[in-house]
A and B are shown apart, each in its own frame.
Chain A
């Protein structure tokens, strides 16, 4: 229970359905002091969660998972930026914190399920996209253990956000019914991730030090103040004066270079990912046609699996996709079914060669 509307409604729905519900709020980070006005994990959010729990008549506990969250999520977030990648901490939080550590906590009190306010559905023992296309959160859930799916309850997954807000009012949860959504990463106040990087890496870290901005032919066109401030597809902080808008197309940590180019250089026809995790059995195979998503809220596009080697997968995209960023998730779908995913390692400008036919 984050103190937000989704998890509050999820808890209240389960109480209404007759489950014996225990409320839990995870304390994941503290920033040294307890910051009162952050959208999530702050004192105010914990208090809201506590009040909702009181309101719906369930016990509520604050679980301190700061140590494991720092190890599993925060440290990785920092090191990914240091490597010139664009990390996606919510995936690791779901994988390790919510659907591993929290399940372990649930075990200690004999709780059969872990319920959250995620927009996703469990159907026939498989993870499926949430009904609300705009809210679907499966992009962040592909990394969980397959065995965790049978422990998940996702009560709001077949509702839309507006429906959840209406239900919140009906359930008497006015306190949180109209709470604004938190868009930012919970441990990054005001979206200022550079501050976190500075704290962890030091102000003189290579990723926060000046380096060249070049075009794809190698021409130096400017200087940046640290490649960690850039993400693939970004326009802000990119030199102007070109006939067409320029975007960050590549970040090279080894020589601290930020490469920029026009929109066409941002488009990818192939994608390679590692750290695979499959949520279906049997797992997808080379030659399968699937839907893929390479960024939160990006459209799901048709693709073909052209290579699976140990921990690495390569897909050929039927149509070009914009801004494929290393570090983000690649999630594979079959309709609404979430097949699994991995972390993007690289993109290919050209469509990958088709696999050799094997019999």
Chain B
């Protein structure tokens, strides 16, 4: 079999060699606890502070506005629950979100609802973009927080964060955005876009799994979810993961340095793949087509196929993609994102997400453009299990 092809960068990415090298010393000689006052501690503290500043710079933020987390899920949890719990007693009980959010956001919102919050969902158009008119009607002076992702992880649509953040601001609500897929794909600058909270994840950009960061705009009310020491200004107690913080800072800088070139490269590859597949499968449906889309995601449904069988067949050909959201057991469930796009169940259940990134080459795209349509045409010839 030819070399396997990884087309699932939206799921995770390999740790970059530069990142691995940068974090290495903190597992060995520079192992200190940043809270200690002795020389080992000071050394670790210095590295942590520097990492925080570097991440802050990548977000257009001040260092004190950056909090390290375990990843995107934790950032979303802290932002939504931590923000809502402070504002609830002040007469702001509503949370406004979209139906196409990542589960980390949706489940955090549901948790708040269990605790008494009112959840409201902004309408999404058929391309998978939230509608500002709907947001305008839902974000009111009873709203604690509005949370909308910057780039959708399943279909790659870019959401109007600028406008949404401004809207939330004008109603006195906190605005949070899950920017896990957005970092390195669109410009993120806290000085230009008025978001209050923002969550990013390390392993999507070449850092290890288990590290992320949260942007917390100065003077934004926030209640912590963890209790303990005073680390990270008490917003996230627990001994800091210095090695991973350094890794995140390194990965973030590298990603931003390559942002323009890489985005152009991935966009061209994605377009080529999309065009090639549509040429062979003219009735295939590209989700998010016509909307502003991130360069690295291609979500496509071929009528008459089902994503479970396609993923299995692709994997057996050495091509790694993903379907809807994977549930804990590893089975492919119906995607709540596609479900909210006004698609037939048949089309929603056929979706395959290919996400491009550092491992994607011209040769990869050529092979997938060859194999994918062939497998889809074959699958279509067989009755599907419903």
Q: Which residues of A contact B (CB under 8 A)?
A: 22, 25, 27, 34, 43, 46, 50, 59, 61-65, 67-68, 101, 104-105, 107-109
Chain A residues near B327 (CB-CB < 8 A): 34
The answer for the CA separation of A108 and B327 in the assembled complex, in Å, is 22
The answer for the CA separation of A20 and B330 in the assembled complex, in Å, is 22
Among B312, B313, B329, B383, the one with the most A-chain Cβ atoms within 10 Å of its Cβ is B329
Check B309 for interface membership: any CB of A closer than 8 A: yes
Known: A107-B382, A108-B312, A109-B316; 11 extra A-B contacts, CB below 8 A, are A61-B308, A64-B333, A67-B386, A101-B385, A104-B383, A104-B385, A105-B308, A105-B312, A105-B385, A108-B379, A109-B309
Chain B residues near A50 (CB-CB < 8 A): 330
Task: Give the residue of B308, B315, B378 whose beta carbon is less than 8 angstroms from that of A59.
Answer: B315
Task: Give the residue of B311, B315, B331 whose beta carbon is less than 8 angstroms from that of A27.
Answer: B331
Chain B residues near A108 (CB-CB < 8 A): 309-310, 312-313, 378-379, 382
B309 touches A105 (CB 8 A): yes
The answer for the CA separation of A274 and B309 in the assembled complex, in Å, is 35
Known: A22-B316, A108-B313, A109-B316. A68 touches B385 (CB 8 A): yes
A64 touches B312 (CB 8 A): no
B312 touches A43 (CB 8 A): no
Within 8 A of A (CB), among B318-346: 327-333
B328 touches A64 (CB 8 A): no
Task: Give the residue of A62, A65, A101, A107 whose beta carbon is less than 8 angstroms from that of B330.
Answer: A62
The answer for the CA separation of A34 and B326 in the assembled complex, in Å, is 13
Chain A residues near B219 (CB-CB < 8 A): none
Q: Considering the complex of A and B, which 7 residue pairs feature the smallest CB-CB distances, nearest first?
A: A62-B331, A64-B331, A108-B309, A62-B330, A27-B331, A101-B385, A46-B329
A61 touches B312 (CB 8 A): yes
Number of interface residues of B (CB under 8 A): 22
Chain B residues near A34 (CB-CB < 8 A): 327-329
Chain A residues near B379 (CB-CB < 8 A): 108
Check B384 for interface membership: any CB of A closer than 8 A: yes
A43 touches B385 (CB 8 A): no
**How far in angstroms is the closest Cβ of chain B from A92?**
15
**How far in angstroms is the closest Cβ of chain B from A7?**
16
B310's nearest neighbour on chain A, judged by CB, is A108
0/1 interface trace, chain B 350-386, chain A, CB 8 Å (1 if under): 0000000000000000000000000000110011111
A41's nearest neighbour on chain B, judged by CB, is B329
15 A-B contacts (beta carbon < 8 Å): A22-B312, A27-B329, A34-B328, A34-B329, A43-B328, A46-B330, A59-B316, A61-B330, A62-B330, A62-B332, A63-B308, A101-B385, A105-B385, A108-B310, A108-B382
The answer for the CA separation of A68 and B386 in the assembled complex, in Å, is 6
Chain B residues near A64 (CB-CB < 8 A): 308, 331-333
The answer for the CA separation of A25 and B331 in the assembled complex, in Å, is 9
Chain A residues near B316 (CB-CB < 8 A): 22, 59, 109
Chain B residues near A27 (CB-CB < 8 A): 329, 331
Chain A residues near B315 (CB-CB < 8 A): 59, 61
**How far in angstroms is the closest Cβ of chain A from B68?**
30
Chain A residues near B333 (CB-CB < 8 A): 64
The answer for the CA separation of A25 and B329 in the assembled complex, in Å, is 10
B313's nearest neighbour on chain A, judged by CB, is A109
The answer for the CA separation of A43 and B330 in the assembled complex, in Å, is 9
0/1 interface trace, chain B 300-316, chain A, CB 8 Å (1 if under): 00000000111111011
**How far in angstroms is the closest Cβ of chain A from B313?**
5
The answer for the CA separation of A25 and B328 in the assembled complex, in Å, is 13
B379's nearest neighbour on chain A, judged by CB, is A108
The answer for the CA separation of A200 and B363 in the assembled complex, in Å, is 53
A62 touches B329 (CB 8 A): yes
**How far in angstroms is the closest Cβ of chain A from B88?**
27
The answer for the CA separation of A46 and B331 in the assembled complex, in Å, is 10
The answer for the CA separation of A198 and B327 in the assembled complex, in Å, is 27
Chain B residues near A25 (CB-CB < 8 A): 329
B309's nearest neighbour on chain A, judged by CB, is A108
Chain A residues near B313 (CB-CB < 8 A): 108-109
Chain B residues near A46 (CB-CB < 8 A): 329-330
The answer for the CA separation of A68 and B384 in the assembled complex, in Å, is 11
**How far in angstroms is the closest Cβ of chain B from A52?**
14
Known: A68-B386, A101-B385, A104-B382. A109 touches B312 (CB 8 A): yes
Task: Give the residue of B310, B331, B384 whose beta carbon is less than 8 angstroms from that of A104.
Answer: B384
The answer for the CA separation of A46 and B326 in the assembled complex, in Å, is 14
Within 8 A of A (CB), among B274-323: 308-313, 315-316
The answer for the CA separation of A105 and B310 in the assembled complex, in Å, is 10
Chain A residues near B386 (CB-CB < 8 A): 67-68
The answer for the CA separation of A105 and B333 in the assembled complex, in Å, is 16
Among A67, A101, A107, A109, the one with the most B-chain Cβ atoms within 10 Å of its Cβ is A109
**How far in angstroms is the closest Cβ of chain A from B338?**
15
**How far in angstroms is the closest Cβ of chain B from A65?**
7
**How far in angstroms is the closest Cβ of chain B from A23?**
11
0/1 interface trace, chain B 41-65, chain A, CB 8 Å (1 if under): 0000000000000000000000000
Chain B residues near A68 (CB-CB < 8 A): 385-386
The answer for the CA separation of A109 and B310 in the assembled complex, in Å, is 9
Chain B residues near A105 (CB-CB < 8 A): 308-309, 312, 385
